[in-house]
Amino acid sequence: MSDPDTAGSGKDRRPARLLPLDLVRGFLIGSAELVPGVSGGTVALVTGVYEQLIASASHVLAAARALAVGPDRRRATLTELRRTDWRLIVPVLVGMALAVLTIAGVMSSFVTDHPENARGLFFGLVAASIIVPIRMLPEPHRAPALDAGLAVLAAVTAYLLVTLATGGSSTDPPLYVVFLAAAVAVCALVVPGVSGSFLLLAIGIYTVTLDAVSERDLVYIAVFGAGAVCGLASFVQLIGYLLREHRRTTLVVMTGLMVGSLRALWPWQSSSGGGEASGPGALLAPTEPLVGPLLLMALGVAVVLALVWVQARSERRDEHDRAPEAQR
């Protein structure tokens, strides 16, 4: 895998043939963010572009900062923009936008009208995705008990946060609440195991946000977008730093968050009693319907394992291609 920090530089530029695949990746990431309990960061991890997206977003934010405060505004800004892998970030963003604009209403109906089937599918997707950050772990340099403790703490934290979500609904939230909710939810976009949509559900504006997108409420969308930009600017560079300087700890915590987030996706739950039909309820033993959720759970697992296999083959092929160059 290429170094994320240099992915956009000249000689390591992303090949144009990957553009259609990156559009699909963006569409999948955007689709995931529409579903409470599913993290777009998890999908980015599974599809193999998580670190490259974090690095490119960091360069864009660094360019904006250089343009605003300098020094040497022009040169510093252009340097950071050249380091951004636009051949990755543009198609992914376009794919995400297409997902939000085209299937927000469909996804909301699927989650609301068929909750057991929806949760079954996404439970399988997230459960299988846990192997992704585990595969990325560097060699251990400390006692395994510490890693296990960090993972358990993160899992318990995610579990408790899910449990605290009441699913209450607000039909006309103040715009400042929309702004703040977007700033928090977009941070979840870049953390595998933490769902931005689930945070909106916990705050009580999940349904009204999807309705605003479906109905093209431009004022609501603009305020939400502004909040998302502010939240992303304040958080993405922190994640990039943690992945560079504390990689093993960060990946272990991400793994725990993904495990804890499965609480939201257990197919069989009692009604939450709130206004949001997809809110979390008490966990129940498997009951009818059984076949649909179990089949969709197996489908979710199969999809992720297939993606991991494809990504592993791609990495081996890249290493094989680079081997002759290293020997010169």
Residue 208 has what pLDDT?
83
Those residues with Cβ within 8 angstroms of residue 20's Cβ, 6 or more apart along the chain or in another chain = none
Q: What does the alpha-carbon distance between residue 249 and residue 94 come to, in Å, rounded to a whole number?
A: 32
Among 106, 100, 105, 111, which Cα is nearest to 224's?
Answer: 100
Q: What is the pLDDT of residue 322?
A: 62
Mind giving me the DSSP string for 202-234?
A: HHT-HHHHHHHHHTT-HHHHHHHHHHHHHHHHH
Dist. CA 194–CA 83, nearest whole Å: 28
Q: Residue 158: what residue type?
A: A
Sorting pLDDT into bands at 50, 70 and 90, what band is 1? very low
Highest mean pLDDT among 11-20, 85-94, 313-322: 85-94
- The confidence score (pLDDT) of residue 156 equals 92
| Mean pLDDT of the 288-308 span | 89
- The predicted structure's pLDDT at residue 178: 87
Q: What is the pLDDT of residues 243-284, one digit of tens each?
A: 888 889 988 998 888 888 788 788 898 865 444 444 567 888
In Å, how far are 27, 130, 245, 257 from 124, measured between CA atoms? 19, 10, 31, 16
Q: CB-hemisphere CA count at 13 Å for 107? A: 26
Q: What is the pTM of this model?
A: 0.68
- Percentage of the chain modeled with pLDDT above 90: 9
Q: Where are the domains of the chain?
A: 4-103+120-283
User: For residue 29, is pLDDT > 80?
Assistant: yes
Residue 293 has pLDDT above 80, yes or no: yes
Task: Sort 288 into a burial class: Cβ within 10 Å, 0-12 / 13-18 / 19+.
Answer: exposed
Q: Check pLDDT > 50 for residue 64.
A: yes
Contacts of residue 248, defined as CB under 8 A and 6 or more positions apart, other chains included, come to 137, 138, 140, 141, 147
pLDDT digits (tens, 9 = 90+) for 154-206: 999 888 877 765 555 566 788 888 888 888 777 766 777 666 766 776 666 77
Report the residue count for the chain. Answer: 328
Whether 5 shows a pLDDT value over 80: the answer reads no
Rounded Cα distance between 133 and 239, Å, is 14
Residue 10 pLDDT: 43
pLDDT of residue 201: 67
Query: Rounded to an integer, what distance in angstroms lies between the CA atom of residue 291 and that of residue 114?
Result: 13
- Average pLDDT value for residue range 63-67: 85
Q: Identify the weakest region by mean pLDDT among 46-55, 140-149, 232-241, 317-326.
A: 317-326
Question: Per-residue pLDDT averaged across 66-84, rounded?
Answer: 84
Using H for helix, E for strand and C for coil, what is the string for 64-126?
Answer: HHHHHHCCCHHHHHHHHHHHCCHHHHHHHHHHHHHHHHHHHHHHHHHHHHCHHHHHHHHHHHH
DSSP 15: P
Position 168 scores a pLDDT of 52
Query: How far apart are alpha carbons 200 and 181 in whole angstroms?
Result: 7
Instruction: Answer yes or no: are the C-beta atoms of 269 and 283 closer than 8 Å.
Output: yes
